[in-house]
Structure 1
Amino acid sequence: MSRQIVRTDDSAELSVEVFGSSFAPTTVVFTHGWTLAGRLWDDVVAGLHRDLGDDIRTVTYDARGHGLSTSGPAGSATLPRLAADLKSVIEVCAPSGDLVLVGHSLGGMTLMALAENWPRLLAERVVGAVFACTSSGKIWAPVKYVPGFIAASPWVLRLNRPKMMRSTSLTRLGMRFGLYGGKASRSHLEDTIEQMRLADPGVVADLGKALLLHERDHVLPYFDSIPTVVLTGANDHLTPARHGRRIAESIDGALLIDEPGAGHMVPHERSSVVVREVGVLVRSGNAAARTLRAIPA
């Protein structure tokens, strides 16, 4: 594993972890959810390298204002900006070869913003995509349409103090039923709390508003020619399964997997399912590449 710092064009510093050989034909890039960090994917990354070995390289990173990454200029935390950050990470850490993109919650929305702004990158290099517990829009509808609700949301969210969170029995209980599907290991609960403690309140507030403004149904057809998996948790209270169904229905050939009993934290709750589905995309992408190389010019 190598840890790198990717500096964006607006001077934010993103903390990135790269596993695997630079000669691997496929790189899997993971984007995490709101208030979390790249370590959300630790179980999945370990499982993929155990199963696929040298056939993949994996890249996880902390979004600006999350984990060990800096926040960048005040007010810079928007979905288009997160998409530009993702593009920077790809350019520095995976400048060539096939890509599989995996996004959880806010991370899935970041993938949509990437497709909206850089469709050529999607068409030329992406051989698979996974959307986990995310949405293409209509989050908090119809409540968000109440006059003043979206405008007030950042001010309310700025009152939050993530660093004040502690792993108490009450906090873990609320998280078990609020974020998870009712069952969660103590280690996963404590790891989630620790990730949240590192989030910058200002960035959290700005991205909370960005989540409410996020409407990208029109972008989903960009994934029509890309093998796509949509994962939902039947007990997800933040992005209910209906959001995933709408994504799957809008992408030709997308595979929808609704996990019974799972909540919003599918990368923790169903890491083996994520490993399996990402592995299928990597293997099929590698096989297609080998076939193309075997065809005479």
Structure 2
Amino acid sequence: MILLAIVLRLFALGSLAIFAGAAWLLWRWYDAWHVAETLGLAEPSRAPLWWGAGLMAFSLLGRVPMLMLLGRSGKTAPAVRGDSVTIPGADGANLHVEMEGATTGPILVFTHGWALSARIWAEARADLGARFGLVFWDLPGLGRSGRPPAGYSIEGFAEDLHAVIDSLPNDRPVILVGHSIGGMTVQTFCARHPEQLNDRVVAIVLENTTHTNPLETMIFSRVLKPLQPVIELVLKLDTVLSPALWVMNWQAWLSGSTHLAARLVGFGTRPTREQLDRTSLLITRGSPAVQARGNLAMLHWSVTDRLARIDLPAMVFAGGRDLVTKDHAGVTISAALPQGRLIRVEDAGHMGPVEKAAFYNEQIGDFAEFFRLLHSRTPVSSRRSFLSPDADLAPPAPHGGERDHGDPSMVVHVRPAVRPL
């Protein structure tokens, strides 16, 4: 989410400038009025008063018209929370974990993107909870999880994910779902713990994520990658200026500037107002210091050379309009994974799991259904048929390996996802 952090900072500074300009206009008018009142002069022009009042209203109340302009009406995701527990993370942080859904069959463990929290998975809760066990956890320093005393790293997040998995019933298969930095965490876990693959963990789902330094797989990467030393310096300053930035971020949220940045950078289509406001609120609630440290951790991470050793069924989503993680990152991941399967969603931005939740969750549900059938001791003959390369967890795809789902923005690029038994 480094690109979103950069754009959010620029928009927040612009919002603060408008607030300061409004305050100056109001003070200018008051000072002129006070002088005129004291000396008995004619009342000064009220233009600064009206301009200042209008700009101040935008600075403090702009969120509402911004949501009306940038979002669309739509079904509001239910605000549901499962049973929650706190478990110790591998790095010393207390991790907030929520468990819900079916009590039998596979457990889907969801790891959210950076600057967000488990609340971002509202649609997945509603769409998948009836068939599968669901586990949502907050990454260290975000949501309700504590901060790690040892600092932030993708490797540390992967060990925290290991701790979450260890806390689950060991008689049920686990499927890991990761979005953005969550996908980076899942890949790192798989690379560090091959003994867990095809045993405790039976499959992975990677959503709009990368395999290396995000500066290399985002839009304008040729410009931003050489600026990495400058970006790192700014992020380090954020950790020092965190209290001031926190206030600035909330002012940007009130003005709707955060919503505008999130819409332009995070979404490929027009999200519902609830989706846009939920995403913007989660970003605003997070500590700027925590977000900066996590972004710094991403700049020194790569799993590219280890992808070929992550040998288990994998579904990889790539958004055609994703600016934060360009779709070629998903192509690279799916091609390198021995059992990778690419699903390209043409209209999806980086927040594809939210804005295109129905499609993402349908695909995940179909993918996980196989493991539910397998866990229920399906006869061997049925398993062979279901696992055959021709089936690929879906009917054979016509026209050069692409399967149309009735929406031209949603195309599944099919390749064998799992091997025959």
What TM-score results when the alignment is normalised by the length of structure 2?
0.64
Aligned to 1:3, what secondary structure does the other structure show? strand
Q: Please show how residues 29-178 of structure 1 align to structure 2 within 5 Å.
A: 29-50=109-130, 52=131, 56-73=132-149, 75-141=150-216, 142=222, 143-145=224-226, 148-149=229-230, 151-158=232-239, 159=241, 161-162=245-246, 164-165=249-250, 166-178=253-265
Structure ranking higher on relative contact order (CA contacts 8 Å, 6+ apart):
1
Could you report, residue by residue, the CA deviation over 1:233-290 in whole angstroms, capped at 9, with x for unpaired residues?
A: 1111111111111111111342211212211001211111221122122211122334
Number of paired residues? 288
The CA deviation at 1:71 is 0.8
Q: Is the 8 A contact 2:215 2:225 kept in 1?
A: yes
The CA deviation at 1:83 is 0.6
- Residues 1:233 and 2:319 aligned together: yes
Could you report, residue by residue, the CA deviation over 1:33-75 in whole angstroms, capped at 9, with x for unpaired residues?
A: 010001111101210124x2xxx210001101111111121x5
Distance 2:228 2:99 in 1: 44
Distance 2:166 2:254 in 1: 38
The residue type equivalent to 1:259 in the other structure is V
| Percent pairwise identity | 27
Distance 2:228 2:154 in 1: 23
Could you report, residue by residue, the CA deviation over 1:1-31 in whole angstroms, capped at 9, with x for unpaired residues?
A: 311111224431111110035x412110000
The CA deviation at 1:147 is 7.1
Where does residue 8 of structure 1 map in the other structure? 89
Distance 2:354 2:178 in 1: 14
Aligned to 2:289, what secondary structure does the other structure show? helix
The CA deviation at 1:200 is 2.6
Distance 1:36 1:114 in 2: 20
CA distance 1:94–1:201, shift in 2 (3 Å): farther
- Which of residues 243, 251, 256 in structure 1 aligns to 2:329? 243
Where does residue 208 of structure 1 map in the other structure? 295
The CA deviation at 1:191 is 0.7
The residue type equivalent to 2:358 in the other structure is S
Distance 2:256 2:228 in 1: 37
Where does residue 304 of structure 2 map in the other structure? 217
Could you report, residue by residue, the CA deviation over 1:94-130 in whole angstroms, capped at 9, with x for unpaired residues?
A: 4442011100000000001111221111231222211
The residue type equivalent to 2:374 in the other structure is A
Distance 2:228 2:268 in 1: 32
Bigger radius of gyration among the two = 2
Structure 2 runs not aligned, ≥5 long = 1-81, 217-221, 382-421
Distance 1:241 1:196 in 2: 23
Could you report, residue by residue, the CA deviation over 1:192-238 in whole angstroms, capped at 9, with x for unpaired residues?
A: 122112323222112111111121012222333x2211111111111
Q: Please show how residues 255-274 of structure 1 align to structure 2 within 5 Å.
A: 255-274=341-360
The residue type equivalent to 2:345 in the other structure is E
Aligned to 1:140, what secondary structure does the other structure show? helix
Q: Which moved more, 1:106-115 or 1:271-280?
A: 271-280
Q: Please show how residues 275-290 of structure 1 align to structure 2 within 5 Å.
A: 275-290=361-376
Q: Is the 8 A contact 1:235 1:263 kept in 2?
A: yes
What TM-score results when the alignment is normalised by the length of structure 1?
0.88
Aligned to 1:237, what secondary structure does the other structure show? coil
CA distance 1:162–1:16, shift in 2 (3 Å): farther
